A and B are shown apart, each in its own frame.
Chain A
Amino acid sequence: MNISAVSPGTGGQSSRAGSPRPSTPGRAAENDLLAELVSRAARGHEDAFAEMYDRTSSRIYGVILRVLRSADHAAEVTQEVYVEIWRQSSRYAPDKGSVLGWMTTMAHRRAVDRVRSVSSDVARDEKYALKSADREVDVVWDGVEQKLDVERVRKGMASLTAIQREALTLAYFGGYTQSQVASLLKLPLGTVKTRIRDGLIGLRDALGVEA
């Protein structure tokens, strides 16, 4: 079963009495819902938090797993991230972006921190990295479900130059530092820095201003 961030939870667990909800709300509606859930979580409502978990966990776990590549580490970090989200729920403010953006930012940062702190655990030496650099980009592009949201992001990524896309992918999904990306792509650091930023600008513009 593929649980997406906009599907109504995880099967049986989602059918709580008295909480009907639209099955495929748009992005803005989904964010309103999540914002409501996060503010209820801040007041200690565990059921609201559970619903948040159901609506977001495949996005959060997906990012963490992608960066860490170890299901064990990913589960542990995902739990840490959700506990942190619970703890910080009163600190979410719309000026920090969407709820999901706030959550994925936290998840990505934690995953990358874990990569850097346990790098001896995970084979991430440069030789391995060089070999996997192409695969890194491919894997992300393969097997992606044909969904509207995914389609837009894919199109956005496709609108970037190859180097922008590669630099952004290696940094975000690969969890590499900009210096490592530079050495993987055999480009000067300054170029990589610019490409990552340009890549984000391109993607932002492709996705529109609604975020």
Chain B
Amino acid sequence: MSEIHGAVGSYVVNALEGSELSEFEAHLAVCETCRREVVEFSETAGHLSTLVETPPPPALRASVLSAIKEVRPLPPESGADVHDEPAPRRLLTTPPDSPDAEPAVEVDELAVRRLRRSQRYLGLAAAAALVVALGLGGWVVNLRQDRPAQVAGSTLEAQLLAAPDLKVVSTPMRNGGRASFRVSESLNKALFIGQDLPAPGPGKAYQLWTIDGAAAVPDNLINGGQRQQAWLSGDVREADGAAITIEPAGGSETPTAPILASVSL
């Protein structure tokens, strides 16, 4: 057994990273035996989950079921459809003059990896679609580290997710929503993700703030909704924290309503 074959177990339990992973994935593309073992061992590893069954928090059910309402299931796999990834586009109210106003597309590394994995099932028809053809070329030789770059329009978010100092801070909001900030100081970027944000009311909007010492610096505006995300435009590196309030639709210079959630950055 060659040494690379031997990594199949580690691959299945996701214990490979970096060059180990990319080398094995390159091998996988050409080794039928390993592909078969991956399927078998994944099945086996899945049984381990019986040892740790834990009921999720009851509220999660409603949250999941409401989250899927916004997501269209992919069409069945047939080459030509593959570029039709409905990467969920989130409503974003970043002001158009913001440097970060590129459309926020959820980086779905899992989907990308799955796509890459399933590329061997694609028929020749796939090559007809330029996007797909480019994608395949990329996927075959692509290292895992590069994968966020495969998702068009998501480079900033991909960079954030790949940042070595990425920090995720989540907190419940007083009105029932959930605020989560993905922050990288090295990139000086923070992405706010709000879940289950109740409608802010007529003529109102959610406003983000960065907290600098005792001062609240106005930041971007967001609508209510099941899942909303927006980049903070403020200086994340200098900020001590971030907060969210409900303000008049045009935004305020200082908070005029109670803080619904705040986090330290």
Residues of A within 8 A of B (CB): 1-5, 10, 13, 41-44, 46, 49-50, 53-54, 57-63, 65-66, 71-76, 78-79, 82-84, 86-91, 93, 95-98, 100-101, 103-110, 112-113, 116-118, 120-121, 140-141, 144-145, 147, 149-150, 152-154, 156-157, 168, 171-173, 175-178, 181, 190, 192-194, 196-201, 203-204, 207, 211
Closest residue to B118 on the A side, CB-wise? A91
Q: A150 CA to B48 CA in the complex, in Å?
A: 9
A86 CB to nearest B CB, Å: 4
User: What are 19 A-B residue pairs whose CB atoms fall within 8 Å in the complex?
Assistant: A5-B53, A13-B61, A41-B73, A49-B65, A58-B53, A61-B54, A86-B73, A87-B74, A90-B76, A91-B74, A104-B46, A105-B42, A107-B49, A140-B52, A168-B13, A171-B15, A197-B8, A199-B9, A211-B40
The secondary structure that dominates the B interface is helix
Residue in B73, B86, B162, B165 with the greatest tally of chain A CB atoms within 10 Å: B73
Nearest first, the 10 closest Cβ-Cβ pairs linking A and B are A197-B9, A61-B56, A104-B46, A101-B46, A196-B9, A62-B54, A112-B14, A171-B15, A204-B44, A101-B43
Give the chain A neighbours of B100 by CB distance below 8 A: none
A44 CB to nearest B CB, Å: 6
Once A50-B65, A61-B55, A76-B180 are accepted as A-B contacts, the answer to whether A87 and B39 lie under 8 Å apart by CB is no
Seed contacts A90-B73, A108-B14; 19 additional CB < 8 Å A-B pairs:
A2-B53, A42-B76, A43-B73, A46-B65, A49-B68, A58-B53, A61-B56, A66-B52, A75-B60, A87-B74, A89-B73, A98-B43, A106-B110, A107-B49, A145-B53, A176-B15, A178-B16, A190-B3, A197-B10
The secondary structure that dominates the A interface is helix
Determine which of B47, B114, B166 lies in contact with A118 in the assembled complex, contact meaning CB atoms within 8 Å.
B166
Give the chain A neighbours of B71 by CB distance below 8 A: 83, 86-87
Give the chain A neighbours of B46 by CB distance below 8 A: 97-98, 100-101, 103-105
A92 CB to nearest B CB, Å: 10
| Interchain CB contact under 8 A, B67 and A193 | no
Once A197-B9, A200-B44, A203-B47 are accepted as A-B contacts, the answer to whether A84 and B165 lie under 8 Å apart by CB is no
B168 CB to nearest A CB, Å: 5
Give the chain B neighbours of A82 by CB distance below 8 A: 64, 67-68
